[in-house]
Amino acid sequence: MTMATHADHSPSPARPRERDRDPDRDRRSGPEGAESPEVSEAHESPGAPEDRSTSDPATPKDAPDAVPLARTRTGAGLLAGGLLTGVIVLALVSAAYGAYDIPVTDVIASVQHRAGLGGHALDRVGESVLWNVRLPRVVLALLVGASLGCAGALMQGVFGNPLAEPGIIGISSGAAVGAVASIALGLSFLGNWTITACAFVAGLVTVLLVYAMSRSGGRTEVVTLILTGIAVNAFAGALIGLFIFFADNAQITQITFWQLGSLSQATWPKVLAVLPCALLGLAVAPLYARKLDLLALGERPARHLGIDVERLRIVLVLVVALFTAAAVAVAGIITFVGLLVPHLLRMAHGPGHRFLVPGSALGGALMLVAGDLAARTVAEPAELPLGVLTALFGSPFFFWLLLRTRRRQGGWA
């Protein structure tokens, strides 16, 4: 009797029901309802620390997210600092070396003297070579390279694919048609701004045409983009040939400069002609970096996040046309800068446009200053056309990029 009564009051039948009513134990149990070893140890040890992974926001769980962000910012700062240092060093070297060598220390001293910061003036020949030949060319290379590099980053963001570049899809050729037409027809209605204005209008018409023809089903097709660029380049080449046919010898020499691309005719008036366009574009482009990141998610998600996609594209297309027109108007057709630089930076740091847009400007300036220095010194005393030199290095990279993209997409469907 006593044993039966003891059995009736045994707590063992109630334990399974209490465990079933404990939601924390159910959440921490394994697939078969058994407790995990960590939970069992916590219940068996009265002095075990409390599990704060869900209640305390400052847990080590959040630390791994903060470390890559800090590393990303540090990497961006180091890369930007390296690019800026490279631009400054190469600019000084390019200003110093050529047919008439000037020591780098004398270049720095002359610049300091002109700026009223000490230093000293050079001899008459050195001052003339430095300030009338070398420095206009270096500054023009910086502006043109920054414009083309930033234009390439914007084009790839706007069109949503990595093969977009002002030269490849015909914008440079279209802008060159406007510049060549103003030369062949002897236009001068805006003075020094006539060539730039004609190049801007022709480049804008070209980029709008390419944008309209490469769109299908709400997206930009890579194959259509490239084929459109081939057609535009062929048509622009035909127009340039037609203007050459009707031009005189002096105009033919000037038009040949636009076709090959060169900075040999750099002067301070040309620097002042391209400076407002380049500075305006470089000031406006970084303001749209965040919107380009959202556009990379797709048009529909970007619209849901409050982005006016069409307005964004129109504004950035105008900026790209401004960049390209300014570059073509003073340097002729220089291709592949806008393709190589954004890709190299994207491989080094990632696709974020907050760094990619200004970084491409620095990278483009670095690349064009280096290219111009090579063009002046490799075949000395002759000078290689800068556009030819960039195409020689850019074409193999573009070919590799096409093969890489085709392998990733499984072919061109």
In whole angstroms, what is the distance from residue 231 CA to residue 129 CA? 43
First-to-last CA distance in the chain? 86
Least confident residue range of 30-39, 136-145, 321-330, 385-394:
30-39
Tokens of 210: 């390419």
Average pLDDT over the chain, rounded to an integer: 79
Q: Provide the 10 A C-beta neighbour count for residue 162.
A: 17
Tokens of 201: 């209008």
For residues 338 and 171, the answer to whether their CB atoms sit within 8 Å is no
Query: Which of residues 359 and 160 earns the better pLDDT score?
Result: 359
Average pLDDT on 194-217 reads: 82
In whole angstroms, what is the distance from residue 282 CA to residue 322 CA? 10
Least confident residue range of 9-18, 234-243, 280-289:
9-18
Classify 214 as helix, strand or coil: coil
Using a CB cutoff of 8 Å and minimum separation of 24, what contacts does 297-305 make? Answer: 299/218, 299/219
Chain-centroid distance, C-alpha 363: 8
In whole angstroms, what is the distance from residue 84 CA to residue 82 CA? 5
Going by their DSSP bridges, the two strands 215-216 and 219-220 should be labelled as antiparallel
Q: What is the pTM of this model?
A: 0.76
DSSP sequence for 104-155: HHHHHHHHHHHTTSS-----HHHHHHIIIIIHHHHHHHHHHHHHHHHHHHHH
Summarised one tens digit per residue, pLDDT across range 67-108 is 455 556 777 788 888 999 999 999 999 999 988 889 999 999
Q: Provide the 10 A C-beta neighbour count for residue 58.
A: 8
